[in-house]
Chains A and B, each alone.
Chain A
Amino acid sequence: MKTIQLTVNGVQCSITCPPAKTLLDVLREDLGLTASKECCGKGECGSCSVLINNEAACSCLVLAGQAEGQDIITCEGVGLTPNLDVIQESFVEEGATQCGYCTPGIIVSAKAFLNGINHIPTTDEIKTALGGNLCRCTGYTKIIKAVQSAAAKNNSKKETITG
């Protein structure tokens, strides 16, 4: 057992667990944050995606001991009702979710992607950015639309601030 200090959604946490436990299990079991999901457990599907120091990563492949001192953001940290993030609002408006299992991971990946750009992304750019997130209900058309409309909202917000 090791005691590990990390920041999750802005909150300092201290957890005692085996160091080779996955970050995903720490989030779900030790911290009760169940938005991140386990599906493949091998880095292939992205349903466990979280931000580590603002970059999307698969929490099913990060070991707890490696999360020491890191800044983690899960889908809960992107936004919760009633304070949803623009991306989450767009997913609701576009109906970009079916069973919902992939959704938290996609929201997190989309958040990292939109944080890094200043334009409305093309379909191809979104496909590349979200290539590591699978949706078995195959609602990709609406997911792509939701990301584009979130980018449009972000842009018009920036224009009102600067203009």
Chain B
Amino acid sequence: MLVSEIDMITPSSLSECLAFLAQTNKKHKLLAGGTDATVRMKEGNWRPEVWVNIKNLKELRYIEEKEGCIHIGPLTTHTDIVRSPLLQKKADVLVEASREVGATQMQNMGTIGGNIGTASPAGDTIPALYVLGAILEISSLDTKRLVPIEQFFTGPGRTVLRVNEMITNILIQPQVPNEIGIFQKLGPRKAQSISIVNVAISLRMIEGRHCQGGKIAFGAVGPTIIRAKKCESLLSQGPLTEDLIQNIAKIAWKEVMPITDVRATATYRRDMASALLERGLYRLIRRWENR
């Protein structure tokens, strides 16, 4: 298939889009900001017969709090997330993750739905969505199902999404006042780089350095995001002193499952996963103590 032969349809509403997905027998793919899709089309990897251009479906671009849940439309851009006062207050870790995606242009164009849809193990918003307990609403013309993000990915670039389905809403739990989060990323340089390792951390603090519990999710160190459950279980074992933090970081070294690729060796990734977690925990504690 040549690029010049690829067709495009631009549905004017979500229902029109779902109707198209239900009836088409052409090889198709959704196209949002295009920052992953167009690159892959140019490289020859993604050549559908028809692009389903959803970029301007305004009804899927929103950030709102309803009935104890924050709803984020899949066409919300990273820039929208970074600028949202609601998310700054109640989902700091997601704001920090979106701020690390590419640079200005990629944040203006790229969407959260696209970041999830690409299903890259290095996608920056995904670990943040893990620690925020995100649930994805997946719709087809006549079905709707809710899938916890931890059950959505089945491997690099692979998800449970069927060909006639799309992500239509992302639900996250708002952070409570004693809950604090941080996103840490190591890339080859500061702007515009794919993560070598990243980690999202969310802690529920009690008093002083005592922590009730929390979630830790690593990206780019396994086929999908890895929840570091052994590390998590240590969070409430005592005050988060330097010793305990260093111990948790050591456990992380064993808990991640990285591979060697063009960007880094597996051992380097283990070392860096451990270092990022340690740094992230120190920074979180400092923020907690200075608030």
How far is A59 from B232 in the complex, measured between Cα atoms in Å?
A: 43
Interface locus among A40-48, A85-93, A96-104, A143-151:
A40-48
Residue of A nearest to B55 (CB): A66
How far is A63 from B109 in the complex, measured between Cα atoms in Å?
A: 12
Does the CB pair B108–A131 fall under 8 Å?
A: no
Say how far A31's CB is from chain B's closest CB, in angstroms: 18
Majority secondary structure of chain B interface residues (helix, strand, loop or mixed)? mixed
B contact residues around A95 at 8 Å (CB) = none
Does the CB pair A22–B38 fall under 8 Å?
A: yes
Residue count of chain B within 8 Å CB distance of chain A: 30
B contact residues around A61 at 8 Å (CB) = 33-35, 38-39, 109
Does the CB pair B8–A55 fall under 8 Å?
A: no
A contact residues around B191 at 8 Å (CB) = 127-128, 131-132
B260 within 8 A of A: no
Residue of B nearest to A112 (CB): B104
Interface size bucket, A side? 35 or more
B contact residues around A55 at 8 Å (CB) = 79, 108
A2 within 8 A of B: yes
How far is A60 from B109 in the complex, measured between Cα atoms in Å?
A: 12
B contact residues around A153 at 8 Å (CB) = none
B contact residues around A63 at 8 Å (CB) = 8, 31, 34, 38, 51, 53
Contact with A along B9-31 (1 / 0, CB 8 A): 01000000000000000000001
Contact with B along A108-121 (1 / 0, CB 8 A): 01001100000000
